[in-house]
Structure 1
Amino acid sequence: MTERKAIIPAGMEAVYEKIRYAPAIKAGNTIYVSGQIGRDASMQLVEGREAQMVQAFENLKLVLDAAGASLSDVVDLTTFHTDMRDLPLFMQVRDRYLATHPRPAWTAVGAHMLGGTAGYIVEIKAVAILPG
């Protein structure tokens, strides 16, 4: 069986301790990142649509970095949106973060509510493969 390790970046300990899930699991050379939402290090909702999208990507980047990976290692992206009309803006933000080729596979899903609290508009889940 492949060894599994919880990835908990500094500042996300409350996620693991209070909400009881790992921000990511590293299994072999694969990193499975839990859905990242637009909340800051104090677990507060970031205001503004683009700002939330940016914060979700910054959180994704933080988790990947803690696992020894980067955004260029992402092979699969799943995003959840409370308003699919946000996709053009989301794609602009996404392309600032994921500019490598080939681009990862991507699935966008409409969702009624995210993060268990009203106000969150996007959640980003990813799979990354470490080189070697």
Structure 2
Amino acid sequence: MKVHIDTVDAPKAIGPYSQGVKMGNLIFTSGQLPIDPKTGIMAEDIREATQQSLDNVKAILEAAGASLSNVVKTTVFLRDMNDFTAMNEVYATYFPSNPPSRSAVQVARLPKDAVIEIEAVAAME
């Protein structure tokens, strides 16, 4: 059964999609922009933006009863691949051991002209 995940600790969806979906033992988060759910302000510095996007992913996972340790795959969308190193430095602090598989791509444009968007797939044991 597909379960919709919704939490006030991550930004509300800005379109017709769920913050996350749980299906069986899998959790899929929608791409998370670096928007602070409390203020609505979007971080523009790549380090702060990476942190906020991952905090949003974490909040959705926690609402589903999981954590970042359950993440098996992430996809990172960057506005500028020159931000890759700085993003990696922050990203590594969220996955200090046994990191998930990951793709990182530069895209032409992200919603709200964000500098980053991150989505994740997690597996519950």
Alignment TM-score, normalising by the size of structure 1: 0.87
Q: Where does residue 108 of structure 2 map in the other structure?
A: 112
Q: Where does residue 96 of structure 2 map in the other structure?
A: 99
Larger radius of gyration: 1
Does residue 130 in structure 1 map to residue 124 in structure 2?
yes
Query: What's the offset of the Cα at 1:99?
Result: 1.3
Q: Where does residue 49 of structure 1 map in the other structure?
A: 46
Query: What's the offset of the Cα at 1:94?
Result: 0.7
Contact 1:72 1:100 in 2 (8 A): no
Query: What's the offset of the Cα at 1:14?
Result: 3.5
Q: 1:69 aligns with which of 42, 61, 66?
A: 66
Q: Where does residue 7 of structure 2 map in the other structure?
A: 9
Query: Over aligned residues, Cα RMSD in angstroms?
Result: 1.5
Distance in 1 between residues matched to 2:40 and 2:89, nearest whole Å: 25
**Matched residue pairs, number?**
124
Contact 2:10 2:59 in 1 (8 A): no
Task: Detail structure 1 runs of 4+ shifted over 3 Å in the superposition.
Answer: 11-14
Distance in 2 between residues matched to 1:50 and 1:35, nearest whole Å: 17
> What code does the residue aligned with 1:95 have?
A
Alignment TM-score, normalising by the size of structure 2: 0.92
Structure 2: unaligned runs, 5 residues or longer: none
